[in-house]
């Protein structure tokens, strides 16, 4: 194990709990905080130290890792008066693994640097399966020396670990990933909308096109579930909406015009309004086929 031994972990949801568990299995001493304590109970039962506040979880650690919901949550836990930046000891490494705003990541990096802290943005891809199997892709922005120092921690929870560049670069790369997913997902859904309108058997169409050039994880791993009327989330539709909204906002700031992103974001928002936000991203199929397929 590396010289970094004590880890404070903020956010023990579906992904965070699995990631913290892997770190414990690897011998790290893990302290945990979550707004809902019951979501951390399994980790506590295994020996994690429970903290009553984010501030308590940040103090006395070598590394503080967070994976929470939305940019507003990230800003609150890092930059509030009792947040991580104001609570962590000098020299602590701060790792936000939430998919969040690259602009906010740069803000946290600067605030941390002023306190002699080492902040990186390190969003992940791979979903709940990747978290459970410790096969996540980790996209890191910040100082490269901090990335190198954190590699032993990252290797416990991920397989493809990439240094993307300066602060915010990890978040920018993750948003690029989500934009690619959105277009692919919408394209697959639209293909089945066409097949339905043309009077084809959707299962026969799936058998024909899911193994050729049109194949993708969005078809075989996501939309397949929708065709089976399984909308249980591996990745919630509302979280895709959050990610695409970040992409939409920042693309304007960067001078990029992304019409497919804007279209899919509109469709996702419509599905959220219909009550499907907590379903998996395969629920977008309902937008194209109608709820009653």
**CA angle (176 as vertex; 263, 252 as ends), nearest 5:** 60
Q: CA geometry: angle at 175 spanning 20 and 120, to 5°?
A: 50
Task: Report the interhelical angle of 237-254 vs 169-197 (nearest 10°).
Answer: 120
| 230 burial via Cβ count (<10 Å: 0-12, 13-18, 19+) | exposed
Is 59 tagged catalytic?
no
Cα–Cα distance for residue pair 116/240, rounded to 1 Å: 34
Six token digits for residue 36:
């809902």
- Kind and range of the H or E run holding 189: helix 169-197
Q: Which two tokens stand for residue 176?
A: 């690029």
Which one from 107, 172, 174, 286 is the annotated catalytic residue? 174
CA angle 57, 59, 65 (to 5 degrees): 50
| C-beta of residue 16 within 8 angstroms of C-beta of residue 9 | yes
Q: Identify any residues that bridge with 3 across adjacent strands, giving them in sequence order.
A: none
Q: Which residues are catalytic?
A: 174
């Amino acid at each position: 194990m590396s010289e970094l031994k004590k880890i404070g972990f903020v956010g023990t949801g579906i992904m965070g709990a699995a990631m913290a568990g892997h770190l414990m299995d690897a011998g790290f001493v893990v302290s945990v905080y979550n707004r809902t304590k019951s979501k951390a109970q399994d980790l506590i039962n295994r020996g994690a130290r429970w903290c009553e506040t984010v501030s308590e979880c940040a103090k006395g650690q070598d590394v503080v890792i967070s994976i929470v919901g939305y940019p507003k949550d990230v800003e609150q836990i890092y930059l509030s008066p009792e947040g991580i930046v104001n609570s962590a000891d000098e020299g602590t490494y701060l790792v936000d693994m939430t998919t969040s705003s690259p602009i906010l990541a740069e803000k946290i990096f600067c605030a941390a640097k002023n306190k002699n802290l080492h902040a990186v943005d390190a969003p992940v891809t791979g979903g709940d399966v990747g978290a459970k199997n410790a096969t996540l892709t980790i996209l890191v922005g910040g100082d490269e020396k901090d990335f190198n120092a954190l590699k032993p921690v990252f290797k416990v929870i991920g397989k493809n670990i990439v240094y993307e560049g300066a602060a915010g670069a990890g978040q920018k790369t993750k948003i690029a990933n989500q934009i690619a997913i959105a277009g692919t997902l919408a394209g697959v859904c639209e293909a089945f909308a066409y097949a339905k309108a043309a009077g084809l058997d959707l299962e026969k169409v799936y058998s024909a096109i899911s193994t050729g050039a049109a194949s993708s994880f969005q078809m075989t791993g996501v939309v397949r579930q929708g065709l089976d009327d399984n909308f249980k989330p591996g990745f919630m539709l509302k979280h895709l909406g959050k990610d695409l909204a970040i992409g939409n906002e920042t693309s304007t700031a960067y001078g990029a015009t992304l019409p497919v992103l804007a279209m899919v974001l509109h469709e996702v928002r419509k599905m959220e309004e219909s009550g499907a936000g907590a379903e998996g991203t395969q629920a977008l199929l309902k937008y194209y086929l109608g709820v009653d397929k």
